[in-house]
Amino acid sequence: MTLSAIALHDRLKLTRQACEELGVSGFIIPRGDEFLGEYVSEASERLAWLTGFTGSAGLAAVLPNVASVFSDGRYTVQMEEQVLHDVWERHHIISEPLSKWLEQNASGLKIGYDPKLVSQSMLKSWRAKNVELVPLTQNPIDMAWKDRPLETKNAVVKHSIEFSGESSASKRKRLAELLEKNDQDAVIFADCTSVAWLFNLRGSDVPLTPIAHGYALLHADAKAELFIEKERVERDLLDAFRDEVTVYPPHHLEERLLKLSEKTVRIDSSTTPVWFEAFLKMNKARIIDEVDPCTLPKAIKNVVEQEGSRRAHHYDGVALARFLHSLTTSGVGQRETDLVERLDYFRRQSEFYKEQSFDAISAVGPNGAYPHYRAEIGKDRSLTPNSVYLIDSGGQYPFGTTDITRTVWIGPENPPKSIKEAFTRVLKGNIALSCARFPLGTTGHRLDALARLPLWEVGLDFDHGTGHGIGSYLSVHEGPQSISSVFRPTPLQEGMIVSNEPGYYQAGDYGIRIENLMLVKQAQNPKSTKHFLEFEVLTYTPIDRELIDLSLLNEDEVSWINTYHSNTFSKIAPEVEPEVQEWLKKVCEPLSE
């Protein structure tokens, strides 16, 4: 047994002992922190500490004699590889939900959870017959984790109106008017991206997303309270708040919430820990469960944010051109992790680049068949001749966030016909969605089939969403909009940015995905009096012509590719070195019809 395995056994044993001390038979631990965000600090990686599983979504349940890790289809293989099979069961959270597992294994038991790490919607999904879920005042993981790192406490900085396009005061006034209209006295913000957007602040408390950890209250008079260490807040941000925003230390939160007794308080139960609702109800506040009022205006980018996104994609396009060119000269033999660092190096050539917007997916051959594969040093593959390479990555710039995927063929031989067909059908889906024109009020759910139809025609499909929203120097995954086979009620609106990323994955062989970001804008419809929308493609990076089967494309699709490549060359070529420019000219030449 390895030392790491011994440590993981000991951690499970210590957690069970902590549960006994707290008077419960078991504990449910989600992958998340007190702010329910996608990315967490090292100090909040409780699930990974306990189980060894490092996926970005999932949870674990510990009982006296059995324990299990749950995650979705993106991470089933990763669970099998990372989790000790002799002590942990592994289950697909959709087909084998926690509630069913609890009914089978925890009947008659009291199972604890940390109410500061769990949303109401999460809690509802866990409920099982004859199982009592008990909120705890102490977290057994924290009790067992003796060498737990300290929480990150970095500077909280002002996000300039040069990039935000609207002052915090204006945003707070807009939202306060909404509260007053709905007879609500205050709203609680637990989503750090909402706090960042509303107060025009940014931080670095977690990797990959420029947020600062803190809660906030907004009152119907537009006055606000921010719960974050004041010494972390830079002077120019404090000056911008004037007397309209009061900054309190986090330990003053309960004291300030008591002031809401007998008040009507708005809470988004999907983004707020259940602790807030329980505390407020105990102190006689009236709770209204409604969506976070920042969610929609944050998703609808103003003209400054739109232009910022175009600018970010310009810098990203330059970096991607240099990177893809380098694959043709010195790619073979490089490991997947080396290639991630290489792309990051090219992005760092821009003085504005901050960091990746997510952990890049750099996948050679069969690793590309895992849509959320993450290369690890020592376990990653080398780029070999005559293989498919998939790179999905993004960057954070103060004026925008990017996310792009390209799939390329590494020769020297020609790619097999089957791979070219799959790639071309993915490309056809991407083009169809890019060219969509649709009436106001259309949800992404109604457009999803456009990206899948070319694959469906031959019995193929992909098991992930087609598109997600994206923030403005914020989260790379942002709602409420999406393009997916799963229905989401929010229609696409002017100013929203969405990804367009159909794919195909041949298990054990290769993966294909083509992703651009697109801006929703008003369409010109001279033949219609109705309000229609369409997309503006923001991403400009060549699509690998070696993988295109021209016989599968119609005239309009060829024309779209040629126009896209012509625009790519004109935008990117002036910014790159002569040898990259020459390569770019070649790969952007028109396809012959």
Residues in a beta bridge with 554? none
Torsion sign across C-alpha atoms 159, 165, 166, 171: negative
Residue 188 class from Cβ within 10 Å (0-12 exposed, 13-18 middle, 19+ buried)? buried
For domain 300-587, the CATH class is alpha beta
Is residue 404 within 8 Å of residue 316, measured between CB atoms?
Answer: yes
Token output for 89: 């069961």
H/E element, 482: strand 478-483
Please state, in angstroms and as integers, the Cα–Cα distance from residue 100 to each residue in 95, 130, 312, following that order: 10, 11, 45
Annotated domain spans of the chain: 3-144, 157-298, 300-587
Instruction: Give buried/exposed letters for 516-539 (b at 16+ CB in 10 A, else e).
Output: bbbbbeebeeeeeeeeebbbebbb
Task: Please list the pLDDT of the chain residue by residue as tens digits (593 residues).
Answer: 355 788 999 999 999 999 999 999 999 999 999 999 888 999 999 999 999 998 888 999 999 999 999 998 777 878 898 999 999 999 999 899 999 999 999 999 999 999 999 999 999 999 999 999 999 999 999 999 999 999 888 999 999 999 999 999 999 999 999 999 999 999 999 999 999 999 999 999 999 999 999 999 999 999 999 999 999 999 999 999 999 999 999 999 999 999 999 999 999 999 999 999 999 999 999 999 999 999 999 999 999 999 999 999 999 999 999 999 999 999 999 999 999 999 999 999 999 999 999 999 999 999 999 888 889 899 899 999 999 999 999 999 999 999 999 999 999 999 999 999 999 999 999 999 999 999 999 999 999 999 999 999 999 999 899 999 999 999 999 999 999 999 999 999 999 999 999 999 999 999 999 999 999 999 987 676 789 999 999 999 999 999 999 999 999 999 999 999 999 999 999 999 999 999 999 999 999 85
Q: Quick one: fold of 3-144?
A: Creatine Amidinohydrolase; Chain A, domain 1 (3.40.350)
Q: Both tokens of residue 337?
A: 């992790």
Is 211 in contact with 37 (CB distance < 8 Å)?
yes
Phi and psi, residue 141, nearest 5°: -65, -45
pLDDT tens digits, 534-543: 999 999 999 9
DSSP single-letter state for residue 292: -
Q: Which two tokens stand for residue 395?
A: 């960057």
Total count of residues recorded for the chain: 593
pLDDT number for residue 509: 96
Give the number of other Cβ atoms within 10 Å of residue 412's Cβ: 7
What residue type is assigned to position 312 of the chain?
A
State the fold for domain 157-298: Creatine Amidinohydrolase; Chain A, domain 1 (3.40.350)
Write the DSSP symbol of residue 335.
Answer: B
Q: Is the peptide bond before 502 cis (omega within 30 degrees of 0)?
A: no
pTM for the whole thing?
0.94
User: Residue 3 has what pLDDT?
Assistant: 53
Given phi > 0 = left and psi -120 to 50 = alpha, else beta, which region is 129?
Answer: beta
Q: Phi first, then psi: what are they for 6, rounded to 5°?
A: -60, -45
Q: How far apart are CA 60 and CA 293, in angstroms?
A: 31
Domains 157-298 and 300-587 share a fold: no
Tell which phi-psi region holds residue 234, choosing left (phi > 0), alpha (psi between -120 and 50) or beta.
beta
CA 120 vs CA 49, 176, 214, 267, 509: distances in Å:
25, 25, 20, 11, 41
pLDDT for residue 151: 86
Asked if 367 contacts 382 with a C-beta cutoff of 8 angstroms, the reply is: no
